[in-house]
């Protein structure tokens, strides 16, 4: 399996003035992120507005970005759905393009049992050669993937290689790290949880804030890995306002607005998401003034 990276950005999907996917800008942003501390990219995740992208747009994004970045970083396709058959077909389509892994979110809205979740992920993983990363984000999906189900999948399905944990439940996360099969990786799904999760044995982060402070996040993680916990803690505390501020309203509204403000045109989110109101925009502008942004290749 290709090394997927400790610092992975859940990339936004740039849109043009008509609200259509801007593939040229997506390729430019992908290159910039990989030059600014990110070691991999998740394309068409929640931050990439997967709920409002059409299938053909998603597939084209995978292909165009893969062509643009080559082997410079890992490319992880967000192919999850609350429809098992649809998620399987989408994963197989992404596999044909040559992505490095897929990210499968917990099925939303239909509220499956833990046994249903186990069968859902097992069915998809056993019908692809791609490494599979599970994605637990109960604030979005309502249903939470339990530690027991994650651990069970890690032992039963070899190509389920890790989980993006955005539950914020450190007790659950610790149990996964302790009891999952050897080599099973855990990435933080919340930027503010990254350092606490590293202390439990997590591998890295699938980040939103890395759009703006990827190099600093990279420095924080590798300082911790090298045993320099004091430096890691100092970076974490300095970045904490960014980590929390980018979720002042629903992601990706703040991060898209922030990117537009620093000169990286990614457009507005698609409805039903929209631009931030005046008060929120002022808050993000103030946050940007206080933050050292280092996004290369603008």
Q: Alpha-carbon distance 26 to 31, whole Å?
A: 9
* Residue of 164, 215, 224, 256 with catalytic role: 164
Question: DSSP labels for the chain?
Answer: -----SEEEE----B-TTS-B-HHHHHHHHHHHHTTT-SEEEESSTTTTGGGS-HHHHHHHHHHHHHHHTTSSEEEEE---SSHHHHHHHHHHHHHHT-SEEEEEPP-SS---HHHHHHHHHHHHTT-SS-EEEEE-HHHHSS---HHHHHHHHHH-TTEEEEEE-S--HHHHHHHHHHSPTT-EEEESSGGGHHHHHHHT--EEEESTHHHHHHHHHHHHHHHHTT-HHHHHHHHHHHHHHHHHTTSSSTTHHHHHHHHHTT----PPPTTS----HHHHHHHHHHHHTS-------
Active-site residue (options: 27, 28, 118, 135): 135
Q: How far apart are CA 205 and CA 166, in angstroms?
A: 10
Q: Judge contact between 173 and 167, C-beta under 8 A.
A: yes
Catalytic site residue 215? no
- Catalytic site includes residue 226: no
Residue matched to tokens 């049992």: 113
Active site residues: 135, 164
């Amino acid at each position: 399996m290709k090394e997927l990276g400790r610092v992975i950005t859940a990339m936004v999907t740039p849109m043009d003035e008509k609200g259509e996917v801007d593939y040229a800008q997506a390729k430019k942003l992908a290159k910039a992120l990989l030059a600014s501390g990110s070691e991999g990219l998740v394309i068409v995740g929640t931050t990439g507005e997967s709920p409002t992208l059409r299938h053909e747009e998603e597939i084209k994004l995978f292909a165009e970005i893969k062509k643009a970045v080559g082997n410079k970083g890992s490319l992880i396709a967000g192919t999850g759905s609350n429809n098992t058959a649809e998620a399987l077909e989408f994963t197989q389509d992404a596999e044909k393009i040559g992505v490095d892994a897929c990210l499968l979110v917990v099925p939303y809205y239909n509220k499956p049992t833990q046994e249903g979740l186990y069968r859902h992920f097992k069915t998809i993983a056993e019908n692809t050669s791609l490494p599979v990363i599970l994605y637990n984000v109960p604030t979005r999906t309502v249903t939470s993937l339990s530690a027991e189900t994650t651990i069970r999948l890690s032992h039963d399905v070899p190509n389920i290689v890790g989980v993006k944990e955005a539950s914020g439940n450190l007790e659950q996360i610790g149990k996964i790290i302790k009891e999952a099969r050897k080599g099973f990786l855990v990435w933080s799904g919340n930027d503010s949880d990254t350092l606490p999760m590293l202390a439990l044995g997590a591998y890295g982060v699938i980040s939103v804030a890395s759009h703006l402070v990827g190099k600093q996040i990279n420095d924080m993680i590798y300082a911790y890995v090298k045993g320099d916990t004091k430096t890691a803690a100092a970076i974490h505390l300095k970045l904490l306002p960014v980590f929390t501020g980018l979720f002042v309203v629903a992601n990706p509204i703040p991060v898209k607005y922030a990117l537009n403000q620093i000169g990286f045109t990614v457009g507005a989110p698609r409805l039903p998401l929209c631009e931030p109101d005046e008060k929120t925009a002022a808050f993000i502008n103030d946050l940007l003034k206080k933050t050292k942004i280092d996004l290369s290749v603008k």
